[in-house]
């Protein structure tokens, strides 16, 4: 997929989200609705293999869901959304549902995971653009507060997540969010 060339307008009001059924998600054991729009967006990485096409991403999603259900005992895949290197957004728990991704912060945050290990990899511009558009839509539709705070998992827990290369881009992303 081509990146965005300078000067090209990106439609901030649209992002394609691949629904659960399309990636063969199994049904959640349980789900809790959030009581109010999210105050915080927490960026994660999966710390697994980098995925940049659906042939890699779809089996990886099933693997993550299985791991979260069976090994960690979560009710569903932990994240609200996942983003692959080709800039495709996959629905995890989706909007308005409490996730399981950052202890003590799940009830008021949205957890979004980039698919790869960003201690090693650099996040693609497509995936970063997808995040910005997803958040723009989240605010537009009232799932996320307009003055939400964007943080990395390591800001709220003792973890290397979301990886050095992704974490170091967060200030720039915050700036870009301010300008939209
Ligand atoms: Zn994390």
User: How close is the Cα of 6 to the center of ligand 1, in Å?
Assistant: 31
Q: Is the dihedral of CA 80, 35, 167, 67 positive or negative?
A: negative
d(CA 175, CA 93): 27
Q: Which domains occur in the chain, in start order?
A: 18-24+34-178 (3.40.80.10)
Give pLDDT tens digits for 165-175.
Answer: 999 999 999 99
Nearest Cα residue to 105 out of 61, 161, 50: 161
User: How close is the Cα of 43 to the center of ligand 1, in Å?
Assistant: 7
DSSP states of 47-81: -S----SHHHHHHHHHHHHHIIIIIS--SS-S-SE
Question: With helix as H, strand as E and coil as C, how does 94-130 read?
Answer: CCCECCCCCCCCHHHEEEEEECCCCCCCCCCHHHHHH
Give pLDDT tens digits for 76-86.
Answer: 999 999 999 99
Token pair for 4: 């965005």
Give the pLDDT of residue 148.
97
User: How close is the Cα of 12 to the center of ligand 1, in Å?
Assistant: 26
What residues contact residue 179 under an 8 Å CB cut-off, 6+ apart?
none
User: How close is the Cα of 74 to the center of ligand 1, in Å?
Assistant: 15
Mean pLDDT of the chain: 93
Tokens 């200030």 belong to residue? 171
User: How close is the Cα of 110 to the center of ligand 1, in Å?
Assistant: 12
Give pLDDT tens digits for 10-69.
Answer: 677 788 899 999 999 999 999 999 999 999 999 999 999 999 999 999 999 999 999 999
Confidence (pTM): 0.93
Give the pLDDT of residue 8.
53
User: How close is the Cα of 104 to the center of ligand 1, in Å?
Assistant: 13
User: How close is the Cα of 59 to the center of ligand 1, in Å?
Assistant: 20
d(CA 139, CA 148): 9
Give pLDDT tens digits for 91-132.
Answer: 999 999 999 999 999 999 999 999 999 999 999 999 999 999
Tokens 């539709």 belong to residue? 141
User: Per-residue b/e over 125-141, b at no fewer than 16 CB within 10 Å?
Assistant: ebbbbbbbbbbbbbbee
User: How close is the Cα of 153 to the center of ligand 1, in Å?
Assistant: 5
User: How close is the Cα of 140 to the center of ligand 1, in Å?
Assistant: 25
User: How close is the Cα of 146 to the center of ligand 1, in Å?
Assistant: 23
User: How close is the Cα of 93 to the center of ligand 1, in Å?
Assistant: 15
User: How close is the Cα of 117 to the center of ligand 1, in Å?
Assistant: 11
Report the C-alpha dihedral over residues 70, 74, 75, 79, rounded to 10 degrees: -110
């Amino acid at each position: 997929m081509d990146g965005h060339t300078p000067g090209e307008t990106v439609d901030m009001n649209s992002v394609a989200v691949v629904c659960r059924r399309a990636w063969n998600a199994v049904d959640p054991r349980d789900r809790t609705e959030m009581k109010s729009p999210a105050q915080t967006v927490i960026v994660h990485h999966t710390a697994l293999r980098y995925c940049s096409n659906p042939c890699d991403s779809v089996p990886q999603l099933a693997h993550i869901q299985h791991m979260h259900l069976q090994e960690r005992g979560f009710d569903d895949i932990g994240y609200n959304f996942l983003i692959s290197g080709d800039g495709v957004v996959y629905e995890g728990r989706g909007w308005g549902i409490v996730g399981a991704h950052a202890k003590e912060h799940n009830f008021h945050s949205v957890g979004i995971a980039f698919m790869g290990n960003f201690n090693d990899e650099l996040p693609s511009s497509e995936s970063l653009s997808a995040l910005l558009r997803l958040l723009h839509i989240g605010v537009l539709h009232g799932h996320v507060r307009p003055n939400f705070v964007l943080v990395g998992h390591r800001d709220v827990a003792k973890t290397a997540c979301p990886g050095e290369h992704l974490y170091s881009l967060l200030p720039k992303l915050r700036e870009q969010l301010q300008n939209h």
